[in-house]
A = this chain, B = another copy of it.
Amino acid sequence: MSLVVVGSVALDSVETPANGRRDDVLGGSAVFFSYAASFFTPVCLAGVIGEDWPPEHLKMLRDRNIDTAGLQTIAGGKTFRWSGRYAQNMNDRETLSLNLNVMAQFDPVLPEHYRKCQFLFLANGATEIQMRVMDQCPGAELVVADTMDHWIVNDRENVLKMLKRVNGLVLNDSEARLLTGDENLVRAGRDVLRLGPRFVVIKKGEHGAMFFSQHETYVLPAFPTCQVVDPTGAGDCFAGGMMGYLAEQGNVESKTLKQALAYGTIVASFCVEDFSLDRLRQIDRASIDRRMAEYRQMLTF
């Protein structure tokens, strides 16, 4: 199945307590997502960049079978920049600066071949934009969105509209609590289901992910890794691994969905092991399958 992702493309500056800092490294939700998905399937990426975007990034993405026809360049513009600092626990982070730059004008007009996609992922971004993207892909069989505290708090009405239109929602634990007002994640997940989506995935970072549908509730733990260098993008890699696997399999049966969550978990576990895409660039599908075998073994008793 063809897979399209629309989201941010960024240059990140990241400070970590134990592994130093990196400046202006490749980031953004759509970039992490599409790289993760590309282990499984071709991906069409839509986003926006400025003229300062290093051309080698584009080449790297294309070499991964990532279609960048939907990546607009704004003349004279600057690429979206985020900088943040991780706390000692590598879970909490502080945003040091955020410059939307070209993202402020982002109004994606998808190339014709993107509009025929079967699977669509709306990475974190303005909810109105997410809905305008959906309008452009009327034939999509599976539409999954991510969202964020900012939109839940400041654009709740649109988030609720969006939830009535998507098939799946991926969000993190604090966002699920914020959206539903319930501290208990099992109840929160079920509450989100009532808002529209057919399935909901709550990401719990180092503690794994929870899945909710009408007939199923389950939790899968994160793959334990001792090498947590930079968690930036792990949630997007989780979603990319999940959607990439679903697109590869070409169905969204409940069995395939659970396998997809497991693949998302494994790709995310690699992502955190270095800055930016650095660790993912060292591995291949076989590395993922080897870790998946260990993961299955871990959960068998």
Contact = CB atoms under 8 A, between A and B. Distances in A.
A261 B221 CA distance: 15
A225 B217 CA distance: 10
A221 B224 contact: no
Range, interface on chain A: 20 to 34
Interface stretch (A97-105, A149-157, A203-211): A203-211
Contacts of A217: 224
B221 A219 contact: yes
A220 interface: yes
Contact of A187 (B190, B207, B226, B300): B226
Nearest to A261: B301
A296 B296 CA distance: 12
Contact of A298 (B186, B219, B259): B219
A95 interface: no
A215 interface: no
Contacts of A186: 224-226
A112 interface: no
Contacts of A218: 224, 298-299
In the complex this chain forms, how many copies of it are found? Answer: 2
A299 B258 CA distance: 9
A301 B207 contact: no
Contact of A184 (B210, B228, B301): B228
A184 B226 contact: yes
Interface in A252-301: 255, 258-259, 261-262, 296, 298-301
A301 B258 contact: yes
Contact of A224 (B89, B206, B219, B224): B219
A218 B296 CA distance: 11
Nearest to A209: B221
Contacts of A226: 184, 186-187, 190
A64 B141 CA distance: 55
Given A88-B183, A187-B226, A296-B301, 17 more contacts: A89-B183, A90-B183, A90-B184, A184-B226, A186-B224, A207-B208, A208-B219, A208-B221, A217-B224, A219-B221, A219-B224, A219-B298, A220-B221, A220-B299, A258-B301, A259-B301, A299-B299
24 contacts: A89-B183, A90-B184, A184-B228, A185-B206, A186-B225, A186-B226, A187-B226, A190-B226, A204-B207, A208-B219, A208-B221, A210-B224, A218-B298, A219-B222, A219-B224, A220-B221, A220-B299, A255-B301, A258-B301, A259-B301, A262-B301, A296-B301, A299-B299, A299-B300
